[in-house]
Amino acid sequence: MSPLQLLDAGAALQVTLAGEVHRFHAIWLRDNAQDAQTRGPGHGQRLITLRDIPPETHIAEAAWSEAGLHLRFEPEGKRVTFDPAWLLARAYDAPSPQTPGWTAEAITRWDSRLADHLPVEDFHAVAQDKAARRRWLRAIARYGFARLTGVPTTDGAPTEVARLFGYVRETNYGRVFDVRAEVNPNNLAYTNLGLQAHTDDPYRDQAPGLQMLACLANTVQGGDSLLIDGFMVAERLRQQSPQGFALLARHCARFEYTGTAGVRLRAKRPMIELGPDGELIAIRFNNRAAAAFTDVPYEDMAAYYAAYRQMAELIEDPALAVTFKLEPGELFIVDNLRVLHGRLPITSSGQRWLQGCYADRDSLLSTLAALEEEAA
């Protein structure tokens, strides 16, 4: 058994797990005890509050046995046993990441080279086969998007896709929304415009975490979908201009939608959202929905706009984008807090009918975690 060492008169424990030395605080260990008096069997919820644990809690005894790591906490006289694998998976004694904008290991940033191996699955396979569903959800978690083929071309199709992992998020645009282009030679000039890549609805609290866009009909030429990894854009910006990156992360932008009677959606959020530990949480970029920025100090506004412009230029960089044409029966899903979507110009007459719906990330990640646990 690996050596155990009490530190600071039992305020912490040093333990070697799988060859790595880790320190754990007594208060952390006691709070995370897995016994039936601390955690409810079945639901796994904590049954005690922090006030039930004396502030002077320390480890009085530590020993290994076949069952795991035994600890005795005083002054409670509480004995608990830890599974070393459980502890190793939750070890926190590691240097914190220094570079702002870091992402978890489950995320892979990408650029145009992803075009050679775009994540794609078949609707019926995903609906019927748990392994295919797991693969599909894992790709969305990793790349922030995936394509789906074999999707019904009936009204409401995207909601059937949302049901495979979670729940539709209804908004003022409805349960589903239509993106229609009826293009004839007379009005071609007005409807064939491309659409700059953006994230949807940054004026909501919170912006939808997922968007599904299904193609129900498409007889036009052009109008290809374009996707860009906003996390890659943020990383490029940070490399080119750490100050610009910091400005877009530090100051909030404002977004709003007031285009419908009775709807006044407004949100104050940064374009690059970082957690307090520098983790990249979300990207918001939507030229059409940007309101006047009023939260950037006068001294920083010029540099803020320069960084905003730099970000916009990266978003136009073809080396970062993937494009593909959605045919009827195809759908893509994007992580709307990460991946930007846009549309190339439509170059012929015809009909194009896309239908979208929103959902949230938590249900997708929950379904993925449950499927992975089941398969382990």
Instruction: Judge contact between 354 and 200, C-beta under 8 A.
Output: no
As measured in angstroms, the least distance from the Cβ of 17 to Fe ion is: 46
Which range in 110-118, 127-135, 200-208, 268-276 contacts Fe ion by CB under 5 A?
200-208
Identify which of residues 200 and 229 has a Cβ nearer to Fe ion in the complex: 200
15 vs 315, which CB is nearer to Fe ion?
315
Residue 160 lies near Fe ion (rule: CB under 5 A): no
Per CB under 5 A, which region of 4-12, 46-54, 79-87, 193-201 contacts Fe ion?
193-201
Residue 103 C-beta: closest distance to Fe ion, Å = 23
Are residues 4 and 62 in contact, defined by beta-carbon separation less than 8 angstroms? yes
Does residue 16 contact residue 85 with C-beta atoms inside 8 Å? no
Q: Which residues pair with 213 in a beta bridge?
A: 332, 356
For Fe ion, the closer of residues 110 and 332 by Cβ is: 332
Min dist. Cβ of residue 99 to Fe ion (A): 30
- 200 interacts with Fe ion by CB under 5 A: yes
Q: What's the DSSP call for residue 332?
A: E
Residue 280 CB, nearest approach to Fe ion (Å): 21
- Strands 210-218, 350-359: parallel, antiparallel or unpaired by DSSP? antiparallel
Q: Residue 109 Cβ, how far from Fe ion at the closest point, in Å?
A: 21
Identity of residue 161: V
Question: Cβ closer to Fe ion: 6 or 195?
Answer: 195
Single out the segment in contact with Fe ion by CB under 5 A; choices: 48-56, 196-204, 260-268, 310-318: 196-204
User: Which region among 86-94, 195-203, 239-247, 319-327 touches Fe ion (by CB under 5 A)?
Assistant: 195-203
Nearer to Fe ion, 57 or 199 (CB): 199
CA-to-CA dists, residue 111 to 171, 334, 336, 341, angstroms: 31, 15, 17, 14
Residue 368 CA, distance from chain mean position: 13
- Tell me which residue of 84, 94, 95, 62 sits closest to 16, measured CA to CA: 84
How near is the Cβ of 314 to Fe ion at its closest, in Å?
A: 19
Instruction: Answer yes or no whether residue 201 interacts with Fe ion by CB under 5 A.
Output: no
Per CB under 5 A, the segment of 60-68, 192-200, 301-309, 329-337 that binds Fe ion is: 192-200
The Cα–Cα gap between 101 and 336 comes to 17
Between 160 and 200, whose beta carbon lies closer to Fe ion?
200
The closest residue (CB) to Fe ion is 200
The least CB distance from residue 256 to Fe ion, in Å, is: 16
Please, which residue, 200 or 360, has the CB nearer to Fe ion? Answer: 200
Q: Is 135 helix (H, G, I), strand (E, B) or coil?
A: helix
User: Measured from the CB atom, is 29 or 212 closer to Fe ion?
Assistant: 212
> Is residue 268 a contact partner of residue 252, using CB atoms and an 8 Å limit?
yes
Stretch that binds Fe ion, among 5-13, 105-113, 198-206, 270-278 (CB under 5 A): 198-206
CB of 179 to Fe ion, least distance (A): 8
| Torsional class of 10: left (φ above 0), alpha (ψ -120 to 50), beta (otherwise) | left
State the minimum distance, in angstroms, from the CB of residue 341 to Fe ion.
6
Q: What is the DSSP letter of 209?
A: S
**Would the CA dihedral through 308, 313, 314, 320 be positive or negative?**
positive
d(CA 226, CA 244): 25
**Per this entry, what is the length of the chain?**
376
The DSSP symbol for 264 reads -
C-alpha angle with apex 103: 44 to 225, nearest 5 degrees? 110
- The binding site for Fe ion (CB under 5 A) comprises 200
